Structure 1
Amino acid sequence: MTAVKVIKVLGTSEESWEEAAREAVREASETVQEIHGVNVENWTAKVEGGEIIEYRATSEIAFPVEH
């Protein structure tokens, strides 16, 4: 049986929500091995002057753990 751990990671981008999700996976992969999946839980953005200045993707990252 494989045990799986899920962590939440916030990715940000000045370009798009999709790039923010990619950034979340990139950030997690710096310290987590064998990422098997990502679920984008929430899309949000920071707005200034009526314009989106930062896209944010709160993502759940899944990976196997030894037990």
Structure 2
Amino acid sequence: MTESVYKVIELIGTSKESWEKAAAAAVDRAGKTLRDLRVAEVVKLDLQLDAKGKVEAYRAKLNVSFKFED
């Protein structure tokens, strides 16, 4: 079996609708420039609020790993 090495990066996705869509947006965008994505781990969920304290956006912070190419 060949040994593998993976890099982990932190991403933050946003959505006006849900945390799930925020996480998906981050992974979708990363997939456009990174190959061989392996795991996305949600590490934090939070909300962006407007001046009146109402929800403006859902935010999901993820650790995403991808395999280094040989």
**Do both share a fold (TM > 0.5)?**
yes
Mark the runs of 5 or more structure 2 residues left unpaired by the alignment.
none
Report the count of equivalent residues.
67
| Map of 1:38 onto structure 2 | 40
| Map of 1:13 onto structure 2 | 15
SS, match of residue 37 in structure 2? coil
Structure 1: 4+ residue segments shifted above 4 A: none
Mark the runs of 5 or more structure 1 residues left unpaired by the alignment.
none
RMSD: 1.0
CA–CA distance in structure 1, aligned partners of residues 12 and 39 of structure 2: 15
TM-score (norm 2): 0.88
TM-aligned CA deviation for residue 27 of structure 1: 1.1
Identify which of 30, 51, 54 aligns with 2:54: 51
CA–CA distance in structure 1, aligned partners of residues 7 and 53 of structure 2: 39
Q: Which has the higher strand share?
A: 1
